Amino acid sequence: MSLVTLHAKVQPKRSYLRTLALLSFTGIGAYTAGAVAPHPIFAFIAPRPAPGPPADPDSPESLAYAASLEEALQSLPLLNSLRSQPDADKWYEARPYKRFPEERRVNNLTAGALRGPGKLAIIPLVRSKFDESEAIGFVHVGRGLCGHDGIVHGGLLATILDESLARTAINNLPDKIGVTANLSINYRAPTFADQFIVIKVRLLEKKGRKVQVGGRVEDLRGNVLVEANGTFVQPKYANLLSNSVVKQAMGEPETAQSPVLLSEGVPPPARKS
């Protein structure tokens, strides 16, 4: 057997070994990268286990967690960038439900039943234009708000959008009282739990007792997660009602122009039985 023939027989085996080694290293590298920063599809198919919301929202651990989230909120680059924009003096900040009466809060969905670590741990922060034509809200959604584990329930996102759109709409109605007449929602991407989301709302049209607004939910990177349009109307009997509780729920402009203090951002303790 000649050397040429021997080389021809050995060469495919060496090439096979090189290919096998390359595939092995590639597989190990992909596994390592996936373990450190898993692709969203893996988080959707096999979410990482997480403990449920604590039973006592007023425990020292729960209050400390809420305080840490409030600190993280105040440190968000996007929020601080908005506060430093040239037109910042045309906007005001409010904390919905901050001054909501306790007797009302305990029977309210978002301010009461869904308030606490692992759910809506801190009250929202909203930046609104003084002319009420536009608003940007920041909300933290916890792991206990999921439909599919790790993915925020679509109904919860619809509720957040309904309240966010309603705030802008009601502020544009004559007597500042309104109800949802229509709400259409398009879900664009999964909203992963345990993150801050941004709700952007814009006034589209107002005519008498009817207001149309549009909005969307984004993550902090600007990816659109949900889009919505809503129509809100003022009841004919609105002039017979008091809008003081509505104002407390929506949040009014803070008296100071400085950011809301940490202690003010933590939601009020749940009433003990």
pLDDT value, residue 65: 92
The mean pLDDT of 64-72, rounded to a whole number, is 95
Tokens 């929020």 identify what position? Answer: 79
Q: Is 209 left (phi over 0), alpha (psi -120 to 50) or beta?
A: alpha
pLDDT more than 90, % of the chain = 54
User: Residue 24: which pLDDT band, with cuts at 50, 70 and 90?
Assistant: very low
pLDDT value, residue 154: 98
The mean pLDDT of 218-234, rounded to a whole number, is 98
Q: Is the pLDDT of residue 173 over 60?
A: yes
pLDDT value, residue 6: 47
pTM metric for this prediction: 0.75
Asked which of 6-15, 129-138, 184-193 is least confident by mean pLDDT, the reply is 6-15
| C-alpha span between 258 and 26 (Å, rounded) | 52
Output 236 or 166, whichever has higher pLDDT.
Answer: 166
Residue 121 phi, psi (nearest 5): -70, -30
Q: Is the pLDDT of residue 259 over 70?
A: no
The topology (CATH level 3) of 60-265 is Thiol Ester Dehydrase; Chain A (3.10.129)
| Domain boundaries, given as residue ranges, for the chain | 3-37, 60-265
Over the stretch 136-153, which tens digit does the pLDDT of each residue have? Answer: 999 999 999 999 999 999
| C-alpha span between 199 and 192 (Å, rounded) | 15
First to last CA, the chain: 94
Asked which of 18-32, 38-52, 84-98, 150-164 is least confident by mean pLDDT, the reply is 18-32
Structure tokens that stand for 99 in this block: 């001054």
pLDDT value, residue 273: 45
Listing DSSP states for 125-136 in one string gives EEEEETTSSEEE
